[in-house]
């Protein structure tokens, strides 16, 4: 039985105030603006999702872009009050499911070199560090690792994914809306 329940659905305009509040609490003055998220909701290549608690409050979000056969993972963030409850992993699972639904073969992203927690999650799902973008983050000029998956339709990835999803289901109940 899962320890926690989360609902995940596409981000809507009505979510933007809560998303911006989580963004500001997490990243301080160098966060994405409400307008930036609003623009992404109208981008035909973008998919943004929110995680909701049982009171339908936004507790996390993530975004990706479909670029031919790649999904570029643009952002993920979980409210400080809900970290370490597998919400981020549930959102990452939704990203992978979105890729399967849309026949996207590869996942790519940039992650801060100091963000070992996120790197651990991505590595757990089979992504590999294939390079560094020097000075990628504008707030402090920190470098970013460039991480990529192998083809997610290959058996190797599917096996890793299935094992991780089974483990995740023991920790968190996910309802897709």
Which residues belong to the active site?
A: 110, 122
Sheet holding 144-148, edge to edge: 128-133, 144-148, 106-112, 70-78, 58-67, 46-52, 4-10, 172-176
Distance separating alpha carbons of residues 114 and 97, to the nearest angstrom: 27
Distance separating alpha carbons of residues 8 and 130, to the nearest angstrom: 30
Which residues contact residue 68 at a Cβ distance below 8 angstroms, ignoring those fewer than 6 apart?
Answer: none
């Amino acid at each position: 039985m899962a320890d926690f329940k989360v609902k995940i659905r596409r981000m809507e305009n009505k979510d933007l105030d809560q998303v911006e509040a989580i963004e500001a609490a997490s990243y301080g003055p160098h966060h994405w603006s409400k307008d930036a998220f609003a623009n992404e909701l109208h981008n035909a290549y973008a998919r943004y999702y929110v995680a909701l608690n049982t009171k339908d409050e936004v507790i996390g979000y993530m975004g990706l872009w479909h670029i031919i056969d790649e999904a570029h993972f643009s952002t993920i963030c979980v409210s400080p009050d809900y970290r370490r409850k597998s919400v981020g992993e549930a959102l990452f699972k939704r990203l992978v499911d979105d890729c399967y639904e849309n026949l996207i073969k590869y996942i790519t992203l940039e992650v801060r070199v100091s963000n070992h927690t996120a790197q651990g999650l991505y590595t757990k799902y089979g992504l590999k560090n294939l390079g560094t973008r020097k000075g990628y983050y504008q707030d402090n000029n920190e470098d970013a690792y460039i991480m990529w998956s192998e083809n997610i339709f290959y058996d190797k990835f599917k096996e890793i994914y299935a094992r991780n999803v089974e483990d995740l289901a023991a920790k968190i109940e996910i309802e897709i809306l």
